């Protein structure tokens, strides 16, 4: 398995995703619509020694990365597909319908704009089944990161959980094969249902890092906080904890203390302001890097 840093900067706030309140979501959407507000946080994080950044191909984030002078020294963990964007755009077609439409548009786009280079990558372009279209979509989204050092690809939690509930091993096989063979990086699965996903992956003999909610409040830890903690204690899977501050309800001090003795490989930390970045990341460093 590729090495994954202990502390990863998350990008939910930059994408207008907040769990504290809808008011906070609106603030993030407005504030981080300007790349000038994202860059200082990237810079502060980098200067504090946090070199991993998890993000989707959100235009504001890509624009900030473009201007950030140390972006080539960052290890990028790309989240695909960019489900929030599809969810916002989707209508009665549904998210899947939207993804399918987009994937088909991408075929055309890639043919025209990317020419042979794209075509040679899309091996199954003649068989327009779902997996081919999703592959095209992954190619398109990954193309946004072509000038950065992508070290891992994270399958978005909504997609992982949809695939999990379909009880279809092949989807996970195809996903990890594409990420390993095509992009030569580490495949990672995000989920909101750690307690259901882990046993299923073990049954299928699929061993991938899992990114899941772990926090003192049990916020979005499914099926229950106790079951997730019990499985975490015994597993030899690499676990990346997310929502560690329970969507902003816990201070870094109390949140990280809970995690300090847990079998956690990495933590993803989202921050919504410069001062928050200094506070949160400094506390994280003191607990996770210099215990």
Partner 1 sequence: MLPQDKRMVGIIGFGKRGILHASMVNINPDAEWKAVCDTNAQLLTYMKNFYPNIPFFLNLDEMLEQIILDTIFICTPEYTHLPLVKKLSQKNMNIFIEQPLADSLASSKKMMNLISGKNNVYSIGYYSPFKVLFQKAKGLLDNKALDKVKRYRASMYCTLSQSFHYSERTIINTLSSFFHLIYWLFGPVKSLYGRASHKLTEVKSGISLILDHSSGLMGLLDFSWSRPGYPLPTVNISVEGTGGTLEISDDNLKLYLYKKKQGLERGWTTLNISDIPSPSRFFLCEEGYYEGNSSFIQSCSGEKKSSISLEEGLEIMRMIEASQLSIDLKRVIFLDEVK
Nearer to partner 1, 115 or 199 (CB): 199
Region of 37-45, 60-68, 142-150, 217-225 interacting with partner 1 (CB under 8 A): 217-225
Does 167 bind partner 1 (CB under 8 A)? Our answer is: yes
Which of 165, 251, 282, 286 is the binder for partner 1 (CB under 8 A)?
165
Burial of 179 (0-12, 13-18, 19+ CB in 10 A): buried
Closest to partner 1 by CB, 31 vs 278, is 31
Q: How far is the CB of 221 from partner 1 (least distance, A)?
A: 9
**Candidate residues 192, 214, 238, 281; the one interacting with partner 1 per rule CB under 8 A:** 192
For partner 1, the binding residue among 36, 70, 72, 94 (CB under 8 A) is 94
Q: Does residue 16 touch partner 1 according to CB under 8 A?
A: yes
Binding-site ranges for partner 1 (CB under 8 A): 16, 19-23, 25-26, 29-30, 88-97, 100, 129-131, 133, 158, 161-163, 165-168, 170-171, 192-193, 196, 217-220, 222-224, 246-247, 249
């Amino acid at each position: 398995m590729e090495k994954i840093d202990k502390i990863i900067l998350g990008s939910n706030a930059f994408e207008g995703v907040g769990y504290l309140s809808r008011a906070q979501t609106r603030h993030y959407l407005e504030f981080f619509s300007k790349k000038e507000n994202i860059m200082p946080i990237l810079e502060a994080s980098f200067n504090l020694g946090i070199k991993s950044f998890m993000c989707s191909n959100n235009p504001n984030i890509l624009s900030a990365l473009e201007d950030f002078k140390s972006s080539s020294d960052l290890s990028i963990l790309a989240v695909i597909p960019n489900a929030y964007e599809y969810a916002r755009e989707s209508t009665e077609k549904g998210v899947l319908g939207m993804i399918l439409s987009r994937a088909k548009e991408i075929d055309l786009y890639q043919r025209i704009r990317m020419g042979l280079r794209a075509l040679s990558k899309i091996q199954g372009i003649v068989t327009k089944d779902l997996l081919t279209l999703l592959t095209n979509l992954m190619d398109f989204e990954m193309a946004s990161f072509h000038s950065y050092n992508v070290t891992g690809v994270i399958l978005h939690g909504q997609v992982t959980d949809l695939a999990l509930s379909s009880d279809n091993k092949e989807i996970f096989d195809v996903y990890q094969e594409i990420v390993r063979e095509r992009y030569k990086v580490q495949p990672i699965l995000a989920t909101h249902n750690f307690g259901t996903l882990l046993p299923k992956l073990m049954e299928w003999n699929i061993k991938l890092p899992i990114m899941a909610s772990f926090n003192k409040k049990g916020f979005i830890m499914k099926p229950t906080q106790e079951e997730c903690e019990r499985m975490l204690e015994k597993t030899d899977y690499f676990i990346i904890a997310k929502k560690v501050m329970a969507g902003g309800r816990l201070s870094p001090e109390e949140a990280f203390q809970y995690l300090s003795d847990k079998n956690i490989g990495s933590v993803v930390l989202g921050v919504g302001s410069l001062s928050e970045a200094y506070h949160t990341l400094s506390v994280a460093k003191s607990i996770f890097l210099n215990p």
